[in-house]
Structure 1
């Protein structure tokens, strides 16, 4: 695919001609001397970046031009000329990337994406160091794309020009040459729809406030609040957007504008007879805009007006972002291929030879869409490249997209989560494997986190892949990254080696981001994530990760004043504490379940105290302050009414996100983040309310009072209490104090209680074992003791108290007891409970662990439905095994009537892969039968369930289905189970994605003597 076309602009009086863009020769002020072997372009824009970022060295670093590589690809060269540093490039983008690489690897003065330290010019002394040798690098792809659509909401909805200028400069220094630019595009829609019968009032009621506009541009939603963006704000954003686009063009960056693909307000047909629209329904509880049929003449008129207005307001470009039918959009009776062809034709009329940029996400772009377009003029920025296993279709974009040019993308952040981590090892393997494939369509990288300015290591690793001749050694790369940020230090290198091997070595296991913390979750004892669609468990070893904090705090005192070091210390300490929340909450739940009110109070106070500690730590760096982010909004608004609306817009996005229906659909806390002010002013209050309700429930012997978290969120959104926008406190001192505090913590330890047999046989002794894993990566345990308390009818035959000695970080020890029943217990299940005391650094922490053990009892003679028998063991996929209902994915009883191929069943089991369930038969049964298949709620054309079902007797396979999917016949086995003690049913996924695998085991029953 040819690179995008770049139009000449006059933002700085420059007409750029860059070899990669093929615009032809042109003159330019301050142009470098033209030579036959070199392209003619101005280095003035690059000089401007150097002047702004490193003014102390600006006059001491020479910038020059360079011919493209023999392959025609861009290249840069770092060398010396007459005792001065000379950096040359074949394009402004290549040149600026060379400057960034020089600063990083020769001068060890990395320019960070995240840290506000880079907002100020680098303080440098003396002369810039000369490179030891000449370094030449050639780009291996043409497109180096930055920014997810959503970043304009989650990050930069209200940024000012200074902040945008810094973002563009940093992007340029990392080789970005294409940048999504939606700022102010509401003005285009406003001007366009005015020509099709809409008043100013109607348009302003339809257009969301800026922080929510990305999803409007994606055709997911329209305004759902009473707030409206003022005309003054619309105009100022349009002016800012023009300034941003002009600056990008002068620096050799192609601004990628939103294109027009059919979004219209309600009532369009009534205002425009002859138009045809497809209602789009709802998206996550909000109403979607209608879709104007692209095949109609009216569509062509609207598109032409849209592109005219856009060009008038923002200038020209060669790339337009359009996600046709994004995230569940409905085509109705419109053939998708024909619609796509019409969308591209309208774009061609306005911008001949322009490129259609589309996000590779979920099922988009599908084969039907791709069949209708000139694929050579499309670029897919693939957001799924690193997410799924090698066997999944998304792992092979060349095949998946039928040879359509694509950029290797990564979304390591959703909603602005502050969590550290990315699938960098997957990138390193797959990028070069796909690039080296004969005839590959890979021609770019795409930096696509939903919020920008986080995970510097991920940003820099991905952008550097575009210039690497082969896959770099990841451990070595991270060691050099540490040197570039602070200067050489063995402890810094050791810290980043640990971080590389944990948070940045995540597998392709269905996720592309690391787990979020639980402090930002709507309070619950069973919550496993703060955002509904984020990982519900750790994706790396948190104990190993914690050692990175210890190493960072041993970095030489001479380097501790470095702003990037301070940023990293806060970020790593924050992550350590955030990870600990996942160890602590189950122990709080265990204390509540045990009705141990004093222990519950102690543990909840530690939780709340840690949140206050976290808030103070975050407040020591500007990058982690909510007040600073909100200040951009306050400064962008000029009237009290605008300021109030803007604050509601921003506060809503990071809490409730939308209305009540949106929260109910899962959007609540989707954009959670660990920021000072958000933690201390919002999350802390929620957990305080929740723990009070638990304490009251135990005191009164009642269920906890229900708390409407949506209303709590709305109350906070309405608050106008000023939050600090400037940092306070010493980051290193606060991180050190936190480290010392966490060394004493035993709540990070994992205590589990298991029995040697999955059931208690009244005629036999039973061994009970407590396993204590030292989850404190900062210190060993001093002493561990445990006391087992059996219930009535069960007695200990060994001492109740057992102890063990020192346990190293990440290691485990076991403590065991033997129990037996005095007689047959009167309950079907007995609960065994152990109280464990763990001492770390002289501080003792109490924990409780329990196990519910079924009492062995064979089914009654005759026919017994398994849904009426006790589970000896049950492990569900999404949600628990359901009795007599289908799987509901969350809580017991949230499914519906078992239904397969239109037939309903009153009895049976419901689950989602991967799942197992076991029953005790005691050798008393002779046969087992069932009807197994996919529940009808997952048989839609947009679903892809695939499972197998197995029957096992005492661990031996007794039968297995073929693949059960939405079209396969049901499996109806009858199995001989004579003599079987334990019957196990297992449901396994066939493909790597198991979101749709709702499986019913209807009429599952045994015949017993």
Structure 2
């Protein structure tokens, strides 16, 4: 152990304390929450003295054993994280009980918990199990309250997560640090982007708010910081190392007034945004004020949260080229960045998202080597290979040239919600990487949004405790048993999920590398929407035979007919809605293709000299197809409205809570609406990036755009003249106005129908879709 002292104003703190005296009270409380008050039936023992991970002390694989002792369930492990993972092992093995992110378990807790019938032991195959992407804090967590965080942290801890990004409340640290440098609130606060876009402000892609709805409020800044205190404290209790933010180097434009001699440059424009909202000012890490600000960032967090971590997230070139591509410059930047970090905390580890290296034309081997080679010490950096399942960079960088790195599953962009998975890749590829790369140090989940497909999220975490690739067939069988615990189960249920396993959740089409979206979620157009591949714009290609999903859907309904009790289970309700809306989304693709082909054919006929009767008949037939398209979206909205996970109102209600807490009604309402639609209206590049499959959004926004499109094509046939630009402009005007509708509900009805009551009529009406 190498204890070091951090000299923080008013504090002297040992940075790499032994944590052998760690309290197990947090794990006991976790057991009480999981087992509804039965926490006293467990006994926990830490079996090893551990030192907080640092650049001198990388973590080691941990282990646990579950057994019975003195009439209690006894769980011993080398770390708090291992104890939490052991708790879940007991839960799923002895009770078939599990926790889920988006619906409550229906399992019954017995009056007296059974003792394990045999010893249960596991050793992790990687020391780190990482969770979260920087942008997840905007796409999924921006409106989270403490109760939401508590559920997420429990879910992560039970799966053995031992390192997680803690990125809430960053603006308070930023504000206080720049105040100390002599800047005013009037100079600092306008630099912050709105609540739903803070992630990109934090690493220099955006600056300021947009939409003309005001700046971030002090009440928002303070309330988020108070929430962060609770989050960090709970993470420590659960054995999850918090990854706290360091200062990356981006400063408000008025920084030059406070530090006129500072060495600053303008970052490039990001994603076509107006200059007023991008081209952030970057302070060179070689400038003395950079180290001063880094000291402030680190010390203020130690004062607020305690000495809880040595690991800090810091990204300087996220989707932006550096000022210079010269290897010597890149080496200097990283060298001085890390020097400033270790001046503030000598034990610091720099966590870097490896996303920037996907730009392989810019980040050549020489440049990557220079940038990663700057910080001294082998373990001074920890790199996230952010998109390992589809676009891994670890091979071409030779395992990041020996730096410790984590194999990550990104899975989705913008929180898109299509059913999707690459289960063969996350089991086989991850273990192949472990076998071939000596510097691999962990597995991690880095989705841009936590919105669905939970089985593939937890599978990678479970792979971290398994020495060979997981048998996906047996894994899915056990998942179904636990997911619908509390009801009898039938072969139809297992058959449905096996179809999902083999087809939907085991994509092998490299042209579809991530979660896709439905064509209906895109701005309507006559071309460019069908069979789209790649990760941006999001793919619309369906990589499996849609008939297989229809079969899975039919089997789920058959299972519910055989066991009606399934309709009472929240997880089953959610899954039926999920599969139903995906079947309908796929069907819309076919309807759209037929609609466009019909229009092109009709327009061609209309331009010829043919009789009025034939022309009018064709126009009527085409108009009927357009009406059918819109009617179908109305019915899709009805299905989505049966479950709160698929409702726009859930998102808006969560945002409105914070609006009431902070008094920023217009700003927060606009942010909530714009993020999931236009992102920033002034740049079409990000339009529909964060598209969601929600009721309210489908009825009012997606159907609203398609209604303009259908009307425009009807008029085009009537006039024999197509003006696509005019239709597009109408759609753009509608998109802009929708951002300003506040917190008004967009639901068709306040009455909440159950999915079991909506589906029979829906399936009868759209027989060709479901059979």
Q: Give the structure-2-normalised TM-score.
A: 0.86
SS at match of 2:408: strand
For residue 646 of structure 1, what is the aligned residue in structure 2? 668
Post-superposition Cα deviations, 1:956-1001, rounded to whole Å, max 9, x if no partner, equal xxxxxxxxxxxxxxxxxxxxxxxxxxxxxxxxxxxxxxxxxxxxxx
C-alpha separation between the residues in 2 aligned to 1:397 and 1:65?
40
Q: Which runs of 5+ in 1 are unaligned?
A: 8-16, 28-40, 746-777, 780-1009
Partner of 2:420: 421
Give the match for residue 519 of structure 2. Answer: 518
CA distance in 2, matches of 1:234, 1:699: 55
2:697 is aligned with 1:710: no
What are the Cα deviations for residues 561-599 of structure 1, in whole angstroms up to 9, with x where unaligned? 111111111111111111222222111101111214233
Cα 1:296–1:430 change in 2 (3 A) is same
Three-state SS of the structure 2 residue aligned to 1:415 is coil
Q: Which residue matches 1:494?
A: 495
Cα 1:546–1:400 change in 2 (3 A) is same
Q: Is the 8 A contact 2:399 2:405 kept in 1?
A: no
CA distance in 2, matches of 1:497, 1:450: 27
Q: Could you tell me how far 1:68 is from its partner in structure 2?
A: 9.2
Does the 8 Å contact 2:45/2:77 carry over to 1? yes
Partner of 2:176: 191
Q: Of the candidates 152, 155, 167, which is equivalent to residue 167 of structure 1?
A: 152
Tell whether the 8 Å contact from 1:210 to 1:229 is kept in structure 2 after alignment. yes
Are 1:361 and 2:355 an aligned pair? yes
Query: Residues 734 and 100 of structure 1: is their aligned pair in 2 closer, same or farther, counting only changes over 3 Å?
Result: farther
Cα drift, residue 368 of structure 1: 2.1
- Between the aligned partners of 1:558 and 1:489, the Cα distance in structure 2 is 12
Q: Does 1:380 align with 2:383?
A: yes
CA deviations 1:245-287 (Å, max 9, x no partner) are: 1111121111111211211111433431321112112101231
Query: Does the CA contact (< 8 Å) of 1:54 and 1:124 recur in 2?
Result: yes
Q: Give yes or no for the alignment of 1:348 onto 2:347.
A: no
CA spacing shift, 1:288–1:122, aligned 2, 3 Å: farther
Tell me the equivalent position of 1:305: 296
Aligned-partner Cα distance in 2 for 1:640–1:83: 50
User: Against the structure 1 CA distance between its residues 259 and 397, is the aligned structure 2 distance closer, same or farther, given a 3 Å change threshold?
Assistant: farther
Query: Match of 1:50, SS?
Result: helix
**What is the match of residue 395 of structure 2?**
396
Q: For the Cα contact (< 8 Å) 1:398–1:404, is it kept in 2?
A: no
- In the alignment, what sits opposite 1:142? 127
Which deviates more from structure 2 when the two are superposed, residues 234-243 or residues 58-67? 58-67
* Alignment deviations for residues 180-223 of structure 1 (CA, whole Å, 9 cap, x no partner): 11111111111112233422112111101121000011211111
Distance 2:372 2:98 in 1: 41
> How many angstroms apart in 2 are the aligned matches of 1:532 and 1:333?
26
SS at match of 2:402: coil
SS in structure 2 at match of 1:285: coil
Could you tell me which runs of 5 or more consecutive residues in structure 2 were left unpaired when the two chains were aligned.
7-13, 51-58, 603-617
Deviation at 1:24, TM superposition (A): 1.9
Whether contact under 8 Å (1:515, 1:536) holds in the other structure is yes
| Alignment RMSD | 2.8
Q: Where does 1:37-56 land on structure 2 (aligned, <5 Å)? A: 41-56=22-37
Question: Aligned equivalents of 2:401 and 2:238: distance in 1?
Answer: 33
Are the counterparts in 2 of residues 381 and 406 from structure 1 also a CA contact under 8 Å?
A: yes
Equivalent residue, structure 2, for 1:618: 640
For residues 95-494 of structure 1, what are the structure 2 equivalents within 5 Å? 95-115=83-103, 117=104, 123-225=108-210, 226=212, 227-286=214-273, 287-316=278-307, 317-332=309-324, 335-363=329-357, 366-374=368-376, 375-388=378-391, 394=393, 396=395, 399-437=398-436, 440-487=438-485, 488-494=489-495
Structure with higher Rg: it is: 1
Task: Measure the CA separation in 1 of the matches of 2:2 and 2:735.
Answer: 46
Shift of 1:471: 0.6
SS of residue in 2 equivalent to 1:687: helix
Could you tell me which residue of structure 1 aligns to residue 11 of structure 2? none
Count of aligned residue pairs for this structure pair: 708
Q: Which has the higher strand share?
A: 1
How many angstroms apart in 1 are the aligned matches of 2:761 and 2:195?
A: 40
The 1:257–1:727 alpha-carbon spacing in structure 2 relative to 1, beyond 3 Å, is farther
Would you say the 8 A contact 1:398–1:441 is kept in 2? no
Q: In structure 2, how many angstroms separate the alpha carbons of the residues matched to 1:583 and 1:59?
A: 57
Partner of 1:906: none
Larger relative contact order, structure 1 or 2 (CA cutoff 8 Å, min sep 6): 2
What CA distance in whole angstroms lies between the structure 2 residues aligned with 1:250 and 1:435? 29
Q: CA contact under 8 A between 1:57 and 1:124: conserved in structure 2?
A: no
2:688 to 669, 680, 686: 669
- 1:548 CA displacement: 1.2
The alpha-carbon deviation at position 627 of structure 1 amounts to 1.0
CA 541–274 in structure 1, closer or farther in 2 if over 3 Å, else same: same
**Which of these residues, 40, 47, 61, is aligned with residue 73 of structure 1?**
61
Work out the CA distance in 2 between the residues paired with 1:462 and 1:737. 39
The match for 1:544 is 548
| Shift in Å, 1:743 | 3.2
Contact 1:76 1:87 in 2 (8 A): yes
Moved more, 180-189 or 727-736: 727-736
TM-score normalized by structure 1? 0.67
Compared CA separation, residues 134 and 558, structure 1 to 2 (3 A): farther
CA contact (8 A) 1:280 1:289 kept: yes
1:734 aligns with 2:758: yes
Pairwise CA distance, 1:607: 2.0
Shift of 1:362: 4.2
Which deviates further from its counterpart, 581-590 or 265-274? 265-274
Q: 2-side partners of 1:362 and 1:422: how far apart?
A: 24
Report SS of the residue matched to 2:568: coil
Structure 2 CA distance for partners of 1:72 and 1:537, relative to 1, 3 Å? closer
Instruction: Summarize the Cα distance change of 1:68–1:385 in structure 2 as closer, same or farther, 3 Å threshold.
Output: farther
The Cα shift of 1:62 comes to 4.1
Q: Select the structure that is richer in helix.
A: 2
Cα distance in 1 between the residues matched to 2:164 and 2:3: 12
Is residue 680 from structure 1 mapped to residue 699 from structure 2 by the alignment? yes
1:600-642 CA-partner distances (Å, limit 9, x unpaired): 2232222222212221211111111111122122111237951
Shift of 1:76: 2.1
* 1:420/1:514 contact within 8 Å kept: yes
Separation in 2, partners of 1:658, 1:78: 51
Q: Higher mean Cα deviation, 131-140 or 329-338? A: 329-338
Q: Corresponding residue for 1:951?
A: none
